[in-house]
Structures are given as structure tokens and as C-alpha cells.
Amino acid sequence: MRWLLYSCIWVLLFLGSYSAMAGPQQRPDSLLLKADRMLSYRAYGRAIDLYHQALNGKALTPAQRASAQASLAQAYRSVGDNVKAEAAFREWVSMAPSSNESANTVLAYAQTLAGNGKFAEADVEFNRYQTLKEQQRSRLPASIPTAADGRPASARREAVRYQIDDLSLNTPNEEFSPMFYQNGLVYVSGSKGGSTIETSGSGGGAGYLDLIYIPNRTQLTSKQRYDADGERMTGKAAAIGSGAPSRTPNKVGKDFYTQATANDNKTAVGFDAGIRVAEGLGYDNRPGADPGKRFAQSLNTRYHEGPATFSADGTQIIFTRNNYNNGKAKTSAENVNKLKLYTARQVDGAWVDVVELPFNSDEYSVGHPALSKGPDGTPDQLLFFASDMPGGLGGTDLYVTRWLNGRWSEPQNLGPTINTKGNELFPFADEQGNLYYSTDGRKGVGGLDVFYAAMAGTTVRAVETIDAPINSAGDDFGMITDGARRSGFLSSNRNGSDDIFRFTRESSLYGCRDLTLRVIDREANLPLDSVTVVAKSRRPGQTDQLLKADANGIVRFCLDGDSNYLFTAKRDGYINSTLGFSTKAMTDDQPSQLEMTMLKPTMVMDTVYTETRTLAPLDPKKPLTRSRLRGSVLGERDSSPIEGVTVKLKNECNGETLSTVTGADGGYEFDLVEGCDYTLIASKPTYGTNFSRVRKLAKKSKPKLVAADVKLLRVGEVIPMDNIYYDLGNANIRTDAAREIDRLVSTMQKYPSLVIEIRSHTDSRGGAARNKELSTLRARAVADYLTSKGIRRNRIMATGYGESMPVNNCTDGVICTEAEHQRNRRTEFKILAIK
């Protein structure tokens, strides 16, 4: 079977070495590869057996042995055997080099220890995990992505899950290398297709390949379905088509593909069938017209055709064919018929102007084309292909050429990020310009494995493998899909011969989900910079993420899948803002965007004056010719006058500000202009600054004398809060207490710089230690209530004093009424700082 796969393009000399290595006993590194594959399939029991077999051997390198030991421990964890998992982890710790320890494995070890009740040891390992995470984070260069999506490799947490369908179009022969074409699917086949395919002509010479077309790929049916673990699905979930026909795996030399490589075959068998890309394309529908023969006349030769690629508008085909054109075949100096790329245009339903591409050669093969958009987004400006031309890195490499000024440029090798000493084949470019291809030159789970290359034009950003069951123990190649890899098709010989499979992604493509969070000022609708945003996952074991918004108010997170998050935004001068977000059941992989708004604390300004006709002027000898504001500045706690307070009165009509300083009586006096609002500001060091409104007097009214007393808070004062009482032995906020705390909320809003201590007390009943604990809980309950109203937590200190500070003589042993005990179950606040 492997013969046909590689026969599409060149000889693979290492096939013989595979058979030479085969023997009665598997090599330990081969066992390790199989064990890793079983672990990825979640076949934990089989993985455990294989890891033990590999570890019992002596051929593993120290690095392989440490890796196998860690995987064995993870497998035991997965089946719930924490005792054996712990033993395996301990063995891993003894053999893993300290310079190459995996943070995630250390975390799993810590979790296993905790699960086994060994909390002290678990704490040590948790600390080691945090240290390793910081060290690894500092070693990661931010400008060089290590995964195809640009994230660090550690961002991937769980394997992407895919469902696989074995399609009914598959026959005992070979079907492979599918390609999208309009609403249908074009693929390569070794003979006429099955009953699901509309064809015409006799078709299919022995050992030669044909292009087959299915006009509507959405109508393809499946004869067997596999779940994301690679297991055959049964019952209703698998009842999606007719049963699979019996087949016997084709072996090299035992079927009609008897030559080592058909592409290098020195003779050709004639046949009349050709490319059957006909139905549904608008070809000549006149009675008697045969679209299949039209293709036979225009494109078909007596050699191989396929794989192929099509332009975005469907009017151009670029296809692989043996070195044969215009009725003539050419061979290399070694008398071998190589592969070349040809192009043709569709005109009036027929393919015309079949010409070969300029970089073809009689001496080496060029094939497996894939058209892609150019760096500027223009479609069909780049052509990727595979070739064994001189100067490559291995057997076959991937190359790219540009369409410039009406011609294809000199091919460029994609370099060592993609190409290896092995063989790179079957490229496909999705609509984002990223590349899928197959290679046997990288570590994988089978022979040929599918890899994904994130591209920026012709520059390779990063390469990563595709998870099982896309890749299998066999050869997997020719994968095509959309830009988000939601679904697609691929070829594989996992069932014995090349077949085409359909896949559907069932989980998020990435281990973490991109989230862009924008923080704005709600009132001004402008972005806020320097906002600290904390993302807290509700999932156990997840570390909080703490980031700062940039100059545009943007914070970018990479969130774990299947988790609930709470975001908290903090910035000086603003009320904390919270927002919830969930990544559960998200599979679309589109970056999420959220917006958080923040509010400045409301500046509470009281209207301070009342009109009066009884107050006498300050100077009886001066008649009242203008309205006048007069009042006193008093202490909040005892209403005593405060001397040395600077009192300012700002006229909101013209911005003019008057100022005075209070004397021993705390008094002040200002003239007022009727028809204007005023702001009264009173301030003194170690006291708070009080902002108050003075309501305007009606224009043309008679001069009035109005009074306005202002109260100030002083640092160090302890102010009782009336009616903040609790039920006996309870820390819950009662309804009557909530109303009083709302007044404190207003005070905190009026003084944005105010920092207070919430002081809670109990009565003397019960033990002193219990009362101390209870009072602390009560103080915290008040603090939590204030926070829920938008007061920042760093402005509040919560302290419980227990029964140590009664306001009466109801101490231990003293008989008191319930009302007297109730007075001691109180809360007050102390001014710690204020501006």
C-alpha cells in the first residue's frame, strides 16, 4: 500500500529499510511511540502495559526513559490509581534532569500527592511548580512563537477532539488526495469510483490514476464512524450508511500495483477514461454530449493525473501528470518518466491550453500543487508544491512560487522549519494562507503524519502536528479543511489501503481561547489605561491571571477552555468593576471580545443651607443690602466648632472663588449673588474636605440671610453607627443595619480618599475567643457590604474586638437585660486617613 502513496511522486528508497527492521521483537523506542499513541487515544490500560514494556528494556536514552516514566504516571492518574501514579512520579523525579523538568508534570505530581493526603509534600511540589512556571516564562522569547497559532506550546492543554467518518465512496482500490472544487470534491482514484459517483467512459488502466469528481460533497455518506478516541462507534451514532464492504489489505507486489513506483514506470498501459470533473460545471448539455469524453480529449493521457488544485474562481486547474504532453512522453537521463505540473483553463465547459509550468524538468519530479492567496490577500498568487529537485534538504521538499507580472517566479524552498531530511508531501493552503502537509521526517504517531504550518505569506511562523485521530499509526496525508479547521477531508491507509475520510472537530482548536477585554470610562465613553484586571478561574488548580490595560484600554487574555471566569478591574479613582465570562462549550475558536465599564465614585454634595428670617446680621449697624451665607464648621462626632478651617465659596456662574478662615467659633460668612449656584468647600489638615452645594436664590428676590453649618471628619475619630446590631451569635447583616450602612456608603462616596477601620464588638456572653472570632466575622460582613456597593476594599480595614470594649458594665458575671447586651453588639468606624 505504501507503494501507491509514494508512487504519486517518487521512489522511496527507505522502504526496504523498514522491512529489514521488522523482527519478532519490537524495539523499545517503537514501544514508546505506540504507548504515546495509546495515551493520546486515551487507551490508558494499553498505554500502561506498553510503557512498562518500554521501560523494562535497556535501549531507551535517559531523556526517553524520563519521558516514559512521566507519561506512565499520567496514565495511572487518568485511570484513578493515585497510589501507583505517586510511585511513578517519584521515580520520574529521581531520573528527570533538574534543567529539563516539566512544570505541568510537577503540578500533576503535586495534585496526586494532595489526593493521597500528603499535603506537606504536595505544598513543596506546588511551590516548585510555581518556580518552574516563572523560570520557563522568563526563558520564552515573546517574539518567537512556538505553536502554529503563535502561542507558547504550554498554552495547549488538551488534545483537540475530532470525529472521523470512513466514506462510502471508498472501494477496495485506492482513493486519496481530495481537493475542494466548487460545491464538490475532486480526488485521485486507481479505477472508476463506486456507485455514489456519476462517471462515464470505460476508465482505469491497471496501476494508473484518475481524477474523480463528486458534485455535492455535502451528500457524501459514511459507512463507519469513529469517535475522538479513534474507537469505532456503534448503535445509532454509527448507523449512518451501509456497512463497509469486505476488503483485504493490499500488499506491495500482491496487487495490480506491482511496480515500485508507477510514476517512474518506464512503460504505460493505455486507457480511455480521463478526468471526470464534469457534472454540475456548466458544460455542454446538448443531447448526446459526453462531458467525460471532453475531459478525456482535453486533459487525459496514458499516464497518471493527480493530485490537482483549482483557482478560486474555478477556471484554472493545476495538476500533476507524468512527463507527457502533446502526444509525446519524455524521460530523464536514466530513462525514467518523471512528474510535472501542468495548467489548463476552462473555456465553454472544456479544459484548453494545457501547458506545463516553467520550473518543470525532465530530470526531477514536481507535483502536488496547492494554490494560495498572496501576502496582500490576492487569491491564487502563491503556488506550493513538492519536488525532489537538487538543492533540497531531504528526499522531497516543499517549495513556493509567486505569480508575478504574468509568470511564475523561481521556486523558493520553504526551508528547515518545514522541510526535513525525510519527505514532505501533499501541501494544502486554507483560506487564511496557512499550510497543511504530510511528512515522515518528524516525530509522529505513524508513517506519514499531517502537520500544520502557520504562514505569513511565504514565511513559516511555526509548525505543529495535528492531534489523533487525524493522525494514526498508518500514513495520513492530503488533508484539506477550512481556515478554522471546523471540518474537512483527508486520506489515510489506516484500514489497509488508501481511503478518504471526513473529519469534524468537536472541541476548541486551542488549549486556550483568545479574549480581548476593553476597559472604558462609562461616563466619558473613553478607554482607560493602567487598569489592573484580574481573571480568576472557577476551575480548581487554575492560576489567576493579572494584566494591565494598555494605552487603548485593551487587555488580552488566553483563557482555559471549559471554565468559568470572573474578571475584576481596578484603578485608582474608580469603583472596582466585575464581569463574568464562560468558555464552556465554546468550539468556534473565534476570538472573543468583551467590554468592561468603570465609574468614578459619585461625589456626594449635600445642600447645606436653610433659608431663615430670624438670624441677625453679624454687624447690626450694616443693613442687609445683598443676600448673605453664614454658618459654622463643626466636628462630626460632637458638633464642637473647629478653628482654622479654610472655607471657600465658588460661584458656578462666573467661577469666582471667595475664601475665609474660621475663628474660635468656627464661623464664616459670604455674600451671595441671586440666580447663581455655589459650591462650598471646607478643609483643614487632618480633617476631611467637605464639598457642599448652595442652592441658588431666585433672581430679583429680596436680600436674604441663610445659614449653612458644615461638619468635618477628623483622623482618629471613632464614630458610632446607630442601629448596627446583630442577632445573638450571628454575623449576618440585618435589614435595619443595612439602612445605616448605606449612610456610611454615602460618607465614603463623599470623601473619596477616606480610609476607615470597621470596628465590631460583641456582648460578654459566651467564650472570649469565640466572641473575638464572631466580631471579626461581623466586621468583615460590613466590609463586604461596603465593597458590594462599589467602595474599594483597600479603603476598609475590618477588625473584631470581641467583648473587650463594652459601652456599659455588662461584663462577665453581671446580670443585664437583653437591651443592655444589645448595646454592646455594635459596630463603629474609625477614621484612619483622609484628605
Fold of 718-833: 60s Ribosomal Protein L30; Chain: A; (3.30.1330)
Instruction: Say which residue, 146 or 467, is predicted with more confidence.
Output: 467
Query: pLDDT tens for residues 370-416?
Result: 999 877 667 778 999 999 899 998 889 999 999 988 899 999 999 99
Q: For residues 546, 547, 549 and 555, what is the CA-based torsion angle, rounded to 10 degrees?
A: -100
Superfamily of structural domain 606-712: Immunoglobulins (2.60.40.10)
Q: For residues 347, 350, 353 and 357, what is the CA-based torsion angle, rounded to 10 degrees?
A: 100
Query: pLDDT tens for residues 505-536?
Result: 887 676 667 788 999 998 888 899 889 899 88
CA separation for the pair 100, 93 (Å, rounded): 11
| Mean pLDDT, residues 16-35 | 50
Enter the pTM of the model: 0.47
SS3 for 523? coil
Q: Are 339 and 323 within 8 A, CB to CB?
A: yes
**512-598: which CATH number, 3.40.50.1000, 2.60.40.1120, 3.30.70.1290, 3.40.50.2300?**
2.60.40.1120
User: What mean pLDDT is reported for the chain?
Assistant: 75
Query: pLDDT tens for residues 184-213?
Result: 888 888 753 332 222 222 222 334 677 788
| Mean pLDDT, residues 472-488 | 90
CA separation for the pair 104, 67 (Å, rounded): 13
Domain 606-712 in the same topology as domain 512-598: yes
Among 67-71, 664-668, 818-822, the range of highest mean pLDDT: 664-668
Give the start-to-end residue ranges of the domains of the chain: 162-505, 512-598, 606-712, 718-833
| Mean pLDDT, residues 425-431 | 93
Residue 344 has pLDDT above 70, yes or no: yes
Residue 816 has pLDDT above 60, yes or no: yes
SS3 for 630? strand
Query: pLDDT tens for residues 104-149?
Result: 788 888 888 877 878 778 778 877 877 776 665 443 332 223 344 4
For residue 349, what are the contacts with CB-CB under 8 A and spacing of at least 6?
281, 282, 283, 284, 291, 294
Amino acid found at 780: R
Query: pLDDT tens for residues 161-187?
Result: 889 999 998 888 888 899 998 888 888
Q: For residues 606, 609, 611 and 614, what is the CA-based torsion angle, rounded to 10 degrees?
A: 150
Residues of the chain with pLDDT > 90, as a percent, come to 16
Q: Tell me phi and psi for residue 802, to 5 degrees.
A: 60, -135
Q: Minimum mean pLDDT among 512-526, 732-746, 807-821: which range?
A: 732-746
Residues of the chain with pLDDT > 70, as a percent, come to 75
Omega within 30 of 0 (cis) for the link into 416:
no
Query: pLDDT tens for residues 561-616?
Result: 667 888 999 887 677 888 888 877 665 556 678 889 888 765 555 555 544 444 45
Q: Are 269 and 139 within 8 A, CB to CB?
A: no
pLDDT at residue number 45? 78
Query: pLDDT tens for residues 619-646?
Result: 555 667 788 888 899 988 788 999 999 9
Nearest alpha carbon to residue 139 among 153, 126, 150, 128: 153
Q: Are 178 and 273 within 8 A, CB to CB?
A: no
| CATH number, span 162-505 | 2.115.10
